[in-house]
Structure 1
Amino acid sequence: MTFDWTSFAFQLINVLILLAILHHFLFRPVAEVITRRQATTDAALKAAEDAKAEAEAARAKADAEAKANADARQQVLAKARTDAEERRQGLLDKARQDAARIVADGETALDHRSADAQAQALDRARDLAETIARRALAAQPSGPLGYAERLTRSLAGMGHAERDALLKGDGLRLVAPSALDDDALKAAQAALAPYGASPQVDIDPALIAGLELRSANGVIRNSLAHDLDTIAEAMRDERAA
């Protein structure tokens, strides 16, 4: 058997031509497609990494803001507690001053009596003043927010007709002894919101402490001054009996 070099040469040329054709029409386009897809994949991965980094940064910022808000809330609550204690101490000081005034008035009125009678009357006046102040302060809420809560309970406990008459009366007013801070005002407005009432806010220092609702058809008594009057009247009735 002889080897045909001519046929082998033709076959080799055909293979080379086929490889050139495949390289031009198949291998190179496929390589370009793979390169483009690789670039697209790399871009998608980079975008995903960027999005993840942004999400982590946003979460860290949100955590920081939440912590800052929590710290601010704790500061507000601490200030509210301090303010409430200061107001309560102020009420106690005023009650003591009123007791001292009652004692002083009693001393003046008793000048014409004997020393023993004056001492007894003075002791009774002092006991009465201290008892009135102690009972009144024991029943008082802690600050304007406490009076707003007591006003809410008073409204809820009224009969429907009585409450409507009060809230729909002319000159409906929310009366406080001094200007209300934002928290107390919001609490009072929240108490009245279910009934559709939005009274104007007035100042009456005679209340000493409290938050009353007044109109031409009635009033919700909710103050230290009213409690002092009520307790004093009850004690006078007890002594008379």
Structure 2
Amino acid sequence: MSFHWTTFAFQLVNVVVLLAILQRFLFRPLADVIARRQAQTAAAVQAAGEAKVQAETAALQARAETQATLDARQQLLATAQAEAQARRTELLTQARAEAARIVAEGRAAAERDAAARERRNWEHARTLAAGIATRALGAQPVAAEGYARRLADALRSMPDAERQALLAGGHLQLVAPRPLTDIEWQAARQALAPWLGEALPAPTMDPALIAGLELCSDTGAVRNSLAHDLERIAEAMRDDTVTD
């Protein structure tokens, strides 16, 4: 087998030409494509990294904003609660003050009404007492022995059975507010003689009668005194007042 330098040189030129063609039309475009793809991939990776950083930053900002919102909400709630409590305390204080004022005014009004009622009651009592005294004194006998005549008139006007029961009732006694004078004693004996004859008992003293003569026994009594007249007139005037 012989070696031909011409053929070798021709083949070498072909190889060089082929490599140049491949370099020009294959390797360089392919390298450019690869470089572009690598650049795109790097850019995509960088963009993804930046996007991740932005996302993380946005998430941090969102969490911070959310926390700030929650803090602001809690602060607003705390402020609102404090204001509500302060307002409640203020209203409660005002309500207590108003209640105290109303109670004080009511108590003052009640005291004024009580004082006015007491004055009216005193005026009424004085008027009633004056009326009772006037009517009672106006009905009294002018002379002291007049009570003996009034006692006799009262006995005379009693039903017979009632009068007999009184006189026969036992422990019959004549009651006077003070010791009788001779004139009064004689007037009493004379006035009661139709029923008692000479058996008139000595008078018993009872200062509560004020003035008058009364006849009492175990079965009844004939009231004939200023004290009894005062009681009777007072009852009548009280009844008139209630009716009015």
Q: TM-score, normalised by structure 1?
A: 0.51
Instruction: Give the structure 2 partner of residue 160 of structure 1.
Output: 160
Q: Are 1:127 and 2:127 counterparts?
A: yes
Give the aligned partner of residue 192 of structure 2: 192
Q: Distance in 1 between matches of 2:167 and 2:202?
A: 12
1:147 aligns with 2:147: yes
Query: CA separation in 2, counterparts of 1:136 and 1:167?
Result: 28
1:235 CA drift (Å): 1.2
Return the letter of the residue paired with 1:200. A
1:182-236 CA-to-partner distances (Å, cap 9, x unmatched) read: 0110111112212234223100000000100000111000000001001111111
Q: In the superposition, relative to structure 1, how do residues 208 and 112 fare at CA in structure 2: closer, same or farther (>3 Å)? A: farther
Quote how far apart the aligned CAs of 1:112 are. Answer: 9.0
In the alignment, the residues of structure 1 paired with residue 164 and residue 201 of structure 2 have an alpha-carbon distance, to the nearest angstrom, of 14
Hey, what's the Cα distance between the residues in 2 that align with 1:240 and 1:233?
11
Q: Which residue of 2 aligns with 1:206?
A: 208
- Cα deviation for residue 154 of structure 1 reads 1.0
What do residues 142-179 of structure 1 show as CA deviations (whole Å, max 9, x unaligned)? 23211011011111112222111111111100000000
Letter in 2 for 1:233: E
Find the structure with the greater CA-based Rg.
2
CA offsets per residue over residues 94-140 of structure 1, 9 Å max, x none? Answer: xxxxxxxxxxxxxxxxx996443332222111101100101101111
Structure 2 residue ranges without an equivalent (≥5)? 1-110
State how far apart, in whole Å, the 1-side matches of 2:148 and 2:239 are: 30
Match of 1:138 in 2: 138
Describe the shift of the 1:112–1:143 C-alpha distance in structure 2 as closer, same or farther (beyond 3 A): farther
Q: Aligned in 2, Cα 1:113/1:179: closer, same or farther, shift over 3 Å?
A: farther
Residue 117 and residue 160 in structure 1: after superposition, are their counterparts in 2 closer, same or farther (change >3 A)?
A: closer
CA RMSD of aligned residues (A): 1.8
C-alpha contact (below 8 Å) 1:212/1:222 kept by paired residues = yes
2:175 aligned counterpart, secondary structure: strand
Q: Which amino acid in the other structure matches residue 202 of structure 1? A: T
Bigger shift: residues 128-137 or 188-197: 188-197
SS where residue 174 of structure 2 aligns?
strand
CA contact (8 A) 1:177 1:208 kept: yes
| Identity fraction in percent | 53
Q: Identify the residue that residue 172 of structure 1 maps to in structure 2.
A: 172
1:239 paired with 2:241, answer: yes
Q: Distance in 1 between matches of 2:194 and 2:120?
A: 53
Aligned match of 1:217: 219
| Secondary structure class of the residue paired with 1:235 | helix
Distance 1:119 1:217, change over 3 A: same
Please report how far the alpha carbon of residue 181 of structure 1 lies from its aligned counterpart in structure 2 after TM superposition. 0.3
Amino acid of the residue matched to residue 235 of structure 1?
Answer: M
Q: For 1:139 and 1:187, locate their aligned partners in 2 and report how far apart those are by CA, in whole Å.
A: 19
SS at match of 2:164: helix
Aligned residues of 1:172 and 1:200 also touching (Cα < 8 A): no
Does the C-alpha gap of structure 1 residues 112 and 213 become closer, same or farther in structure 2, counting only changes over 3 Å? farther
Say if 1:151 and 1:211, in contact at 8 Å, map to a contact too: yes
State the SS of the aligned residue for 1:193.
Answer: helix
How many aligned residue pairs are there? Answer: 131
Structure 1 unaligned segments of length 5 or more: list them. 1-110
Structure 1: distance between partners of 2:155 and 2:112: 50
